[in-house]
Amino acid sequence: MPSGEDRLIAKYFKPLATAPGALGLTDDAAFYAPPEGYDLVLTADALVSGVHFFPDDPPETVARKAMRVNLSDLAAKGAQPAGCLLTLALPAGIGEDWLCPFASGLQSDCDLFDCPLYGGDTVRTDGPLVASITAFGMLPRGTMVKRTGAQPGDVVIVTGTIGDGALGLAVLRDPDLIARWSLSEEEAAHLVGRYRVPQPRTAIAGLVRTLASAAMDVSDGLVGDLAKLCEVSGISARIDAARIPLSAAAAKALAAQSDRIEAIATGGDDYEIVASVPSAKWPAFRDQARAAAVPVTAIGEIVEGRESPQVVDAHGKALVFAQGAFSHF
């Protein structure tokens, strides 16, 4: 007689456990045979309802965000996804109508990123829902890209566009911004979609691994995250605000309210990659990223010094932000 938890796992999560070593989630643990000559890359990120997503966000997008914030870390380190484990703390009110689309969203990303489920745990909580994923990836031994390694003269690059996630969150909190920023329905949906379902840059993980000198994913804001990279690399950086790549929607928000540059540069929830690339390797990086359909933009350069990175405007004037990186603590 299977328990309620076993039934829940069999019904919703077993279909995601496509790897032989996952044993259909019917055992206490799973096994994984790492390919010889490869390192595992390990990361864990949790989302809390009401903190990292809205309680009424579609369950599909909650699942996909939980997965993708982890895949984003793997990609920024140069690793290809290999598998994941999911721990869900579920309030009593969560039933089939939530779990079914959640599992379906997770499955679509497990499939899309070739990152099957290897296990996890489901527990009851009388607090908000917590979805915690541990993901592991693989790369040739000794090749994980770190935050350390940036050198003066390296080009600072970012993937995709910056600020959409933070502006999407702002729009969800205050829908009047759609009119104030003169956004079309599609543009508003773009920002919200970027907040709810980030785009991990798995497609260029191999490029990051072979061509970047240092890299990390932008989760807590471009300026703050770049500052962390600079600090451990023992260098500084100079970024041109005007070169920070913006979506059409973000550009409209900035045109309407110029002080939104702060939300864009420091707001977080981007899940893009910021990396330093030796200038000799930048053309190859740019061309191969474009061939992989991943937009990459040079936004500045690594410079000598130990001070926080500077973001300068079109007149060379340094912008000062009240907040560096986002932190809940």
Residue 197: closest CA among 113, 303, 281, 310: 113
Instruction: Tell which positions 86-105 bind its own copies, by CB under 8 A.
Output: 86-87, 89, 91
- Min dist CB 24 to its own copies, Å, is 10
Report the b/e string of 58-96 with b at 16+ CB within 10 A: bbbbbbbbbbbbbbbbbbbbbbbbbbbbbbbbbeeebee
Task: Pick one of 114, 121, 174, 287: the residue that binds its own copies (CB under 8 A).
Answer: 121
- What is d(CA 114, CA 110) in angstroms, rounded to the nearest whole number? 6
Q: Which is nearer to its own copies, 207 or 253 (CB)?
A: 207
- What is d(CA 216, CA 147) in angstroms, rounded to the nearest whole number? 6
Q: Which is nearer to its own copies, 126 or 259 (CB)?
A: 126
Q: Which is nearer to its own copies, 79 or 294 (CB)?
A: 79
Count CA atoms closer than 13 A to 19's CA, side-chain side: 20
Torsion-angle region of residue 245: left (phi > 0), alpha (psi -120 to 50) or beta? beta
Q: How does strand 80-90 pair with strand 117-124? A: parallel
Task: Pick one of 11, 55, 125, 180: the residue that binds its own copies (CB under 8 A).
Answer: 125
Q: Which is nearer to its own copies, 190 or 221 (CB)?
A: 221
DSSP class of residue 128 equals -
Q: Which is nearer to its own copies, 137 or 187 (CB)?
A: 137
Q: Which is nearer to its own copies, 47 or 261 (CB)?
A: 47
- Min dist CB 182 to its own copies, Å, is 34
Per-residue binding string, its own copies, 216-235, x by CB under 8 A, is xx--x---x--xx---x---
Residue 327: closest CA among 236, 224, 233, 230: 224
- What is d(CA 47, CA 29) in angstroms, rounded to the nearest whole number? 23
Task: Pick one of 61, 80, 107, 134: the residue that binds its own copies (CB under 8 A).
Answer: 134
Residue 3: closest CA among 35, 29, 26: 26
Position 308 contacts its own copies (CB under 8 A): yes
Instruction: Tell which positions 20-59 bind its own copies, by CB under 8 A.
Output: 21, 23, 26-34, 36, 38-48, 50-52
Kindly determine how many residues on this chain lie close enough to bind its own copies according to the rule CB under 8 A: 81
Stretch that binds its own copies, among 100-108, 143-151, 250-258, 284-292 (CB under 8 A): 143-151
- Provide the token pair at 319: 């912008």
Position 318 contacts its own copies (CB under 8 A): no
Instruction: Tell which positions 167-206 bind its own copies, by CB under 8 A.
Output: none
- Min dist CB 127 to its own copies, Å, is 1
Is the Cβ–Cβ distance between 214 and 145 less than 8 Å?
Answer: yes
- Min dist CB 264 to its own copies, Å, is 19
